[in-house]
Structure 1
Amino acid sequence: METQSGDNYEWENFSQENSKDRLQDQLVPFMLGAANGLSGILSHELVETYSLLREEIRKQTHRLHELENENNVLHSRVDELWQLFEGVDARLAQLLEKRTVLREDLTSADTAAHLENSQIYRNLVEQRVQALVRRGLKRGSEDRRFETIAKVMSAVCRWLLLPELDRDKIQGAFKGQHDPSFDGMVTDVCEQALKIRGVAQSAAGEQSWMWDYEAGAFIDPSFQDTWSSCDSEHPIKFLIAPAYVVDKQIYCPQIVFTGKGK
């Protein structure tokens, strides 16, 4: 067996140590570079995440301001509606007070009789008289017939409330309408009007019909209402039905025509 000489052994040791040094010299810069690169990547990701978080906070802050503005608008609208409600409530209280105040010379039974009778009177005008007129007039454009219907209703109401109810004029206002069903409608309206007049005269208190009105003036809610889809902000054109009055107290307001507007 061959033995390794001292010179060869020393040379191999020197070569191994030299290789380790060279590997260390190459590996250290590589590791430092990798560490720096990784640090750069992590720093970039952190910066990007931070930017995204700032943008999200900005968006949410902006949305919060929008919600605050919307909330202020809602509060303002609620205040407006509440004021409107208070106005309507006050008006309703006035009307109820006006309709329920008892005079010393009227019993509660007489007041109740006039209140019920005035409501029947209003239903007569708005339902039965209107149905009669619509049935009696010839068909045509609703827009053209709107004011015509109101004018004929006005005439019918006057004939119903004359000192002597005039059925012939009511019947004659609708030429060509002589079938039994239409005649029955005329009879029904006339009989209802006579009952209303009878109760108005029999109950205590001085009952009267308020015919006076001012054409071109705006309605006075204390004793006037508009008919159907008429606009209360338009001036009065003519009277359809008079107010039901007992001892100067309005039980049913006038029904006036102002023109189609609603």
Structure 2
Amino acid sequence: MFSDPAHSWPSSRTPRPRQDALTQALQRIDDLEHTARAGEQQHTEMKRRLDRLERQLSVLLASRLEQRSDLPGARHGDHQTLARRFRTLIEQDFVTFARRFADRCDRVLDRPTPERSARLIGILSERLFARNLPSKQQLVRHLRLADHAGHAEAAIADLYERCTDLAARIDRAGLHHTWDFASTIGEHADPARHDVWPRCDSRAPISFVMAPAYLVDGHIYSPQIVYTRL
């Protein structure tokens, strides 16, 4: 007796789309993990190369400075390196902190939203590069940040440690250095003394100073960073 094909049972070899999709997804995850590991290795290697290039650049710059009669020697090369560290601190660490916490800081909530992060960077600079450095606890109280889980306090402590480490390196480098906050609000930026914050109008008058100039024996190693109208 022949069976009716219309009522035959499905073959056990019929493809199972869900199982195939799961297999593909697992393979995709393995591929992504492999790519991530490779990317991490490349990032680590690139950082090592950048650190090596920075050291080489410092040596080259120090050698060039030794040949100049108007500068006192290789120690200025150390300050060039420290000036780059200072700018990285402002443009990366301070910016990251400000973007994360500006909308929780009572001291900047009266400012227009696009300006709050920049103003918080200015407040941090005023405190962390002051002649008399406040304690971490004083800085936390001064910023008046809404912080229910302690994240802001931990981030402030991290910035504080980075700034005190930079200050110690600058002291060890020797020579007389100053942080110059002096600017006339309402005047236009001077390209020889100021860097205007990105997205601001370089033709507009200065609204406030975001970061001080870094001076060594009267020479500008890092200009002031100023905020103007957007």
Q: Tell me the TM-score normalized by structure 2.
A: 0.62
Q: Distance in 1 between matches of 2:139 and 2:200?
A: 25
Q: What code does the residue aligned with 1:233 have? A: R
Deviations 1:67-111 (A, max 9, x none): xxxxxxxxxxxxxxxxxxxxxxxxxxxxxx9xx754666322x11
> Structure 2 regions of 5+ residues with no counterpart?
1-60, 105-110
Structure 1 residues 244 and 136: alpha-carbon distance in aligned structure 2, compared to 1, 3 A threshold: same
Contact 2:102 2:116 in 1 (8 A): no
**Equivalent in the alignment of 1:113:** 78
Task: Map residues 52-201 of structure 1 onto 2, 5 A cutoff.
Answer: 102=68, 106-108=72-74, 110-138=75-103, 144-166=112-134, 167-172=136-141, 173-201=143-171
Contact 1:242 1:255 in 2 (8 A): yes
What do you get for the CA RMSD once the two structures are aligned?
A: 2.4
Contact 2:128 2:163 in 1 (8 A): yes
SS, match of residue 191 in structure 2: coil
SS, match of residue 103 in structure 2: coil
* Shift in Å, 1:169: 4.1
> Structure 1 regions of 5+ residues with no counterpart?
1-96
Q: Would you say 1:255 and 2:221 are equivalent positions?
A: no
Runs of 4+ with >6 A deviation: none
Contact 1:243 1:254 in 2 (8 A): yes
Greater fraction of residues in helix: 1
Structure 1 residues 103 and 156: alpha-carbon distance in aligned structure 2, compared to 1, 3 A threshold: farther
Structure 1 residues 178 and 132: alpha-carbon distance in aligned structure 2, compared to 1, 3 A threshold: farther
Structure 1 residues 207 and 103: alpha-carbon distance in aligned structure 2, compared to 1, 3 A threshold: farther
* Shift in Å, 1:181: 3.7
Aligned residues: 159
Q: Distance in 2 between matches of 1:233 and 1:215?
A: 14
Identity fraction in percent: 26
* Shift in Å, 1:224: 0.6
Select the structure of larger CA radius of gyration.
1
Structure 1 residues 233 and 242: alpha-carbon distance in aligned structure 2, compared to 1, 3 A threshold: same
Q: Tell me the TM-score normalized by structure 1.
A: 0.55
SS, match of residue 138 in structure 1: helix
Q: Distance in 2 between matches of 1:187 and 1:124?
A: 14
Deviations 1:110-167 (A, max 9, x none): 112101111111111121112112212327xxx9322222222111111101233222
